[in-house]
Amino acid sequence: METPKIFEPGKIEVKWYAHWMEKGYFHSVPDNREPYTIVIPPPNITGVLHMGHMLNSTIQDVLIRRARMLGKNACWVPGTDHASIATEAKIVQKLKAEGIQKSDLTRDEFLGHAFKWKDKHGGIILEQLKKLGASCDWERTHFTMDKEYSESVVNVFIDLFNKGKIYRGVRMVNWDPEALTAVSDEEVIYKEVNSRLFYVRYKIDGLDDEWITIATTRPETILGDTAICVNPLDKRFIHLHGKSVIVPIANRIVPILTDDYVDMEFGTGCLKITPAHDINDYEIGRKFNLASIDLFNENGTLNEYGLHYQGVDRFEARKLIEKELHETGFLSKTEDHINKVGFSERTNAVIEPKLSMQWFVDMKDLAKPALENVMNNSIQFYPEKFKNTYRHWMENVKDWCISRQLWWGHRIPAWYYGEGVNDFVVALTAEKAASLAQEKTGVAYKAEALKQDEDVLDTWFSSWLWPISVFNGLTQPNNPEINYYYPTNDLVTGPDIMFFWVARMVMAGYEYKGDMPFKNVYYTGIVRDKLGRKMSKSLGNSPDPIALIEQYGADGVRVGVLISSPAGNDLPFDTSQCEQGRNFTNKLWNAYRLVSAWEVVDFEQPHSANMAIDWFESKLNKTLLEINDAFDKFRISDALMLTYKLIWDDFCSWYLEIIKPGYEQPIDKLSKEVTIAFFEKLLILVHPFAPFITEELWHLIGNDKKENDIIVASWPNAGKIDDALLVNFNQSEEVVSNIRNIRKQQNIANKVKLSLFVKGQVNGQLNFHSVIVKLGNLSCLEYVNESMKGAFSFVLEGKEFFIPFGEEMDTAAEKDKILAELEYIKGFLKSVQGKLSNEKFVSSAPSSVVESEKKKEQDALSTIDILTKKIADLG
RNA sequence: GGGAGUUUAGCUCAGCUGGUUCAGAGCAUCUGCCUUACAAGCAGAGGGUCGGGGGUUCGAACCCCUCAACUCCCA
């Protein structure tokens, strides 16, 4: 049966993935090989594959596959994250659609629904990764809420609490009124918004018709004012020091304070203080011991302190209060104003600073080794520029709010035995808690009488243990697996989760393993669309990766996403890149078709083939070194491009064209064998990038019988490199290009054979004589002592090449061309001689540079000489 | 407001310690070709004051100053 002209990826992808799985190639167990470990950044359990995952996972798979071929024990641990806020929101939404309110359910009922849903829909993304070819060790798939994993998380909480690094307290936190939970500082995204600045008059208490005007962007919080504040140096207000004002609407009397925090330039220079609803006001409130009036319910509506606005949403209340202030004459004016507002990373709701009782991790000690070991490159960042960002965060790290008012997640193991703020103990089980409580108070408690904290932990409080817990390193310390695989080698992730995740894994690594969690962190860029916009579900500008795989093949897509994506740079993605990737796989396919069709006959190897083999061997070895180097530096795109060019240009366009016998002619045995051997090496080099087609070709090309698979083939070692030969071949390429160029310019058909004469070849033939004859389609290649008249010519490396004219050639055009060349070279000579006649250059430049300039001068002079003669010859 | 980074061909990017690897690559474009593995291809070609200005140097894409634009991080 005829091999199809076009590579069809669909069927073979399924076939080979199943084969690899069946053979257990992805599965790793500790042995005496060197381990190479990557833990996947666990995607949300509810997630579907998007372009970011594509990029990220392809890179990881490339690294893993190459490591496997290098003979390392490669282990890529997959898994998913429970993603508490996102998942809970999804489940709440889904229940709502079924007419069930979360508030109508008990915690256990809700979790029942959640787990059912997770079992049904969770982990779709892992199945999608398989389509991409990801060679994860699926037997090791973990989920951050697995039993043993959860145990680690809870135990870490208990441990940090016992070490005094976790505390509970009332603090100003970022409240998400939509998700109804506190979130960490990192989960708040600040954006500039167009808002308005409201100027509101407050009457001075005890004085007749004396007013002071404040400026605020949040008039709805007036009802929570417990002071106003001016700068002590502000002359405008000195007479008001010590006085009080009456808060409009609330009619409460509050003091005028002085503090240099107040910016005299901003607004009116007079600030209202609402300690419950602004972090800066909160600080001033603490300083002056002010009362805090919390105006809002958890969902962002006003509570009883909102008086007649009770139950109204905060933004609606802003409008209504503006109206009331206006009607009652308190509002003196409003101005347009741009300010920064915090939004929830998850729900996009406007964050409400809110005072509440939460759990925190004290980060100071944890940050120390985490900062140090990144700065001293024990842990390497690629690209290095992210070290700056990392350092800045670490040096200014704030305590981490880890409690979330949700149900989906790891429940905080704190147990309350009374109503007092400190009436709790922290323990794994209620029974343990009961005995601890007894120890603490001297009173006997029954386990059932204790009430467990209702909150769960921040998702990242579990994912920061990922590199340890996927090997059960906390529940079974020093087990053989953790000892073998930890620290892992490379982490591949986006810079957007450097603080959420990377930094905290480093902290947990040093705290619990006394060692780094990984040696290298490769930060990928963000995948953007052609217009430079971030790909997102809401914009609908993200192509469906699975559809892309179906269209271009998994290999094509993998090559497409990697071909222009250097570390840390954004990847402006366009499907044309997948097209390029697919074309590349097709090129490989057709190279195979050519080689496989050659019929072997035992006869002497042509000289040109012999030369091509010598050359390509050197070329391949040299490029292999470059590819290895690119990998070592995490320059994955470069490694791919080097591989791409080695195959497309060097192997297909040059090597195969030289080797290839004439139409329906057989090939000699040796050439075919060597070509197959080259092809196999090339397939190995492409395999990390394009696993499916390479496995297919590997078998088609003859490895089927040997029952070995390319996925476990050995990465080649670079053999000898003959640099002189490479240089020589380069020159021959140029000769051929020049011949082709003359053909093109003179409209000489490729089929017409030409004669080529060379002047200036001192000893015998050109190295690649036979190659030039073949690729130039020459009838003869001869060596002469005199310049030829009536011929096209070109000059390379001091040698003149002549192709005699046919009958009617345009000598005038040829002459113009040479004249232009002459002009150029004269200009060049002038600049070189300029340098050489500059005494300072000659005396201060290194001698090698001066020498090379002198050589340039000589070359230019002789070329000018040749060209001048040529013009004369043309008449 | 503070900090970091980027700016090189139409697009995406290389360019290491200032000097023949110095102006490069891939894609795109243009021109010939359905030449015998591949038109998802082959062969050629044209594209750049290296963001602007100034300086240091015998010599600057590279070092310094300055301006501009964009991006990211933090508050």
Mean pLDDT for the stretch of residues A849-871? 78
Give the integer Cα–Cα distance in Å for A61 and A691: 10
Q: Is the CB of A6 under 7 A from strand B?
A: yes
Distance A527 CA to B15 C1' (A): 25
Distance A698 CA to B74 C1' (A): 52
Mention every residue, 6+ apart, whose C-beta is less than 8 A from residue A764: none
Q: Is the CB of A638 under 7 A from strand B?
A: yes
pLDDT (0 to 100) of residue A261 = 82
Give the integer Cα–Cα distance in Å for A734 and A715: 32
Handedness of CA A596, A599, A604, A609 (dihedral sign): negative
The answer to whether residue A807 scores a pLDDT higher than 60 is no
The answer to whether residue A706 scores a pLDDT higher than 80 is no
The answer to whether residue A23 scores a pLDDT higher than 90 is yes
Q: Is the CB of A239 under 7 A from strand B?
A: no
Q: Tell me the three-class secondary structure of A582-618, residue by residue.
A: HHHHHHHHHHHHHHHHCCEECCCCCHHHHHHHHHHHH
Contact (CB, 8 A) for A686 and A556: no
- Give the model confidence (pLDDT) of A355-379 as tens digits: 889 999 999 999 999 999 999 889 9
Mean pLDDT for the stretch of residues A66-76? 97
Contact (CB, 8 A) for A732 and A767: yes
Q: Is the CB of A753 under 7 A from strand B?
A: no
pLDDT band for A827, please (50, 70, 90 cuts): confident
Q: What percent of chain A has pLDDT over 70?
A: 96
pLDDT (0 to 100) of residue A727 = 87
Q: Is the CB of A843 under 7 A from strand B?
A: no
Q: Count how many Cα atoms sit within 13 Å of the Cα of residue A244 in the half-sphere of its side chain.
A: 11
pLDDT (0 to 100) of residue A513 = 96
- Give the model confidence (pLDDT) of A409-458 as tens digits: 999 999 999 988 899 999 999 999 999 999 999 999 999 999 999 999 99
Distance A395 CA to B75 C1' (A): 14
Give the integer Cα–Cα distance in Å for A866 and A247: 97
From A206-220, A302-316, A534-548, the region with the lowest mean pLDDT: A534-548
pLDDT (0 to 100) of residue A825 = 76
Mean pLDDT for the stretch of residues A780-787? 86
Distance A507 CA to B64 C1' (A): 40
- The token duo for A608 is 């040109």
Q: Is the CB of A499 under 7 A from strand B?
A: yes
pLDDT (0 to 100) of residue A86 = 86
With distances taken from each CA to the C1' atom of nucleotide B36, the closest residue turns out to be A663
The strand B neighbours among A residues 608-637, by Cβ under 7 Å, are 637
Distance A746 CA to B31 C1' (A): 13
A553 Rama sector, left if φ>0, alpha if ψ -120 to 50, beta otherwise: left
Better pLDDT: A861 or A327: A327
The strand B neighbours among A residues 444-483, by Cβ under 7 Å, are none
Mean pLDDT for the stretch of residues A87-99? 90
Q: Is the CB of A535 under 7 A from strand B?
A: no
**In this structure, are strands A227-230 and A403-404 parallel, antiparallel, or unpaired?**
unpaired
Distance A636 CA to B12 C1' (A): 15
pLDDT band for A705, please (50, 70, 90 cuts): low
Mean pLDDT for the stretch of residues A750-774? 82
Q: Is the CB of A594 under 7 A from strand B?
A: yes
pLDDT (0 to 100) of residue A875 = 61
Residue carrying the six token digits 């989920």? A143
Most confident of A28-42, A205-219, A592-606, A747-761: A28-42
Distance A80 CA to B24 C1' (A): 43
Q: Is the CB of A776 under 7 A from strand B?
A: no
The answer to whether residue A811 scores a pLDDT higher than 70 is no
Give the integer Cα–Cα distance in Å for A30 and A74: 10
Q: Which nucleotide is nearest to A853 (CA to C1')?
A: B20
pLDDT band for A616, please (50, 70, 90 cuts): very high
- The token duo for A99 is 């007419």
Give the integer Cα–Cα distance in Å for A487 and A830: 61
Give the integer Cα–Cα distance in Å for A715 and A681: 8
pLDDT (0 to 100) of residue A1 = 46
Measured CA distances, A340 to A2, A322, A350, A793 (Å): 66, 21, 11, 70
Give the integer Cα–Cα distance in Å for A770 and A153: 71
Q: Is the CB of A337 under 7 A from strand B?
A: no
pLDDT (0 to 100) of residue A790 = 77
From A32-36, A651-655, A769-773, the region with the lowest mean pLDDT: A769-773
Distance A683 CA to B66 C1' (A): 53
- The token duo for A115 is 């787990």
The 3-state DSSP class for residue A428 equals coil
Expressed in angstroms, the distance from the first to the final Cα of chain A is 61
Q: Which nucleotide is nearest to A572 (CA to C1')?
A: B12
Mean pLDDT for the stretch of residues A211-221? 90
Distance A759 CA to B47 C1' (A): 34
From A192-201, A629-638, A698-707, the region with the lowest mean pLDDT: A698-707
Q: Which nucleotide is nearest to A597 (CA to C1')?
A: B37
Better pLDDT: A584 or A831: A584
pLDDT (0 to 100) of residue A714 = 95
With distances taken from each CA to the C1' atom of nucleotide B31, the closest residue turns out to be A744
Q: Is the CB of A298 under 7 A from strand B?
A: no
Give the integer Cα–Cα distance in Å for A50 and A69: 28
The 3-state DSSP class for residue A801 equals strand
Give the integer Cα–Cα distance in Å for A37 and A486: 8
Q: Which nucleotide is nearest to A387 (CA to C1')?
A: B4
Q: Is the CB of A496 under 7 A from strand B?
A: yes
pLDDT (0 to 100) of residue A3 = 78
Taking each helix axis as running N to C, give the angle between helix A554-562 and helix A51-69, from 0 to 180 degrees, rounded to the nearest 10.
100
pLDDT (0 to 100) of residue A813 = 67
The answer to whether residue A810 scores a pLDDT higher than 70 is no
Question: Which residue, A596, A389, A348, is CA-closest to A503?
Answer: A389
- The token duo for A209 is 């018709």
Q: pTM, whole model, 2 decimals?
A: 0.91
Distance A388 CA to B52 C1' (A): 29
Torsion of the alpha carbons at A587, A591, A592 and A598, rounded to the nearest 10 = 160
The strand B neighbours among A residues 182-221, by Cβ under 7 Å, are 185-186, 188, 190
Q: Is the CB of A392 under 7 A from strand B?
A: yes
- Give the model confidence (pLDDT) of A178-190 as tens digits: 888 888 887 888 8
Distance A185 CA to B56 C1' (A): 46
Q: Nearest 5 degrees, angle CA A500-CA A463-CA A561?
A: 70
The answer to whether residue A200 scores a pLDDT higher than 80 is yes
pLDDT (0 to 100) of residue A803 = 86
The answer to whether residue A806 scores a pLDDT higher than 70 is no
Q: Which nucleotide is nearest to A734 (CA to C1')?
A: B44
Q: Is the CB of A4 under 7 A from strand B?
A: no
Contact (CB, 8 A) for A570 and A527: yes
Mean pLDDT for the stretch of residues A31-38? 97
pLDDT (0 to 100) of residue A440 = 92
From A71-80, A154-163, A373-382, A673-682, the region with the lowest mean pLDDT: A373-382
Q: Is the CB of A531 under 7 A from strand B?
A: no
Q: Is the CB of A728 under 7 A from strand B?
A: no
Q: Which nucleotide is nearest to A635 (CA to C1')?
A: B14
Give the integer Cα–Cα distance in Å for A574 and A531: 10
Q: Which nucleotide is nearest to A191 (CA to C1')?
A: B75
- Give the model confidence (pLDDT) of A431-441 as tens digits: 999 999 999 99
pLDDT (0 to 100) of residue A809 = 59
Mean pLDDT for the stretch of residues A54-58? 93
The strand B neighbours among A residues 105-164, by Cβ under 7 Å, are none
Better pLDDT: A587 or A765: A587
Better pLDDT: A671 or A839: A671
Mean pLDDT for the stretch of residues A115-125? 88
pLDDT (0 to 100) of residue A16 = 97
Most confident of A212-221, A512-521, A753-762: A512-521
Phi, psi angle pair for A512, to nearest 5°: -105, -20
**In this structure, are strands A166-176 and A142-143 parallel, antiparallel, or unpaired?**
unpaired
Better pLDDT: A320 or A184: A320
Distance A57 CA to B2 C1' (A): 36
Here the ipTM equals 0.94
The answer to whether residue A848 scores a pLDDT higher than 80 is no
pLDDT (0 to 100) of residue A207 = 84
Q: Which nucleotide is nearest to A499 (CA to C1')?
A: B73
Mean pLDDT for the stretch of residues A197-203? 90
Q: Is the CB of A851 under 7 A from strand B?
A: no
Q: Which nucleotide is nearest to A532 (CA to C1')?
A: B71
**In this structure, are strands A188-204 and A244-246 parallel, antiparallel, or unpaired?**
antiparallel
Q: Which nucleotides of strand B are protein-proximal, with an atom < 7 A from a CB?
A: 2-6, 11-14, 19-20, 25-28, 31-33, 35-45, 57-59, 72-75
- The token duo for A339 is 């300010």
pLDDT (0 to 100) of residue A863 = 77
Residue carrying the six token digits 């520029």? A385
What's the whole-number average pLDDT of chain A? Answer: 89
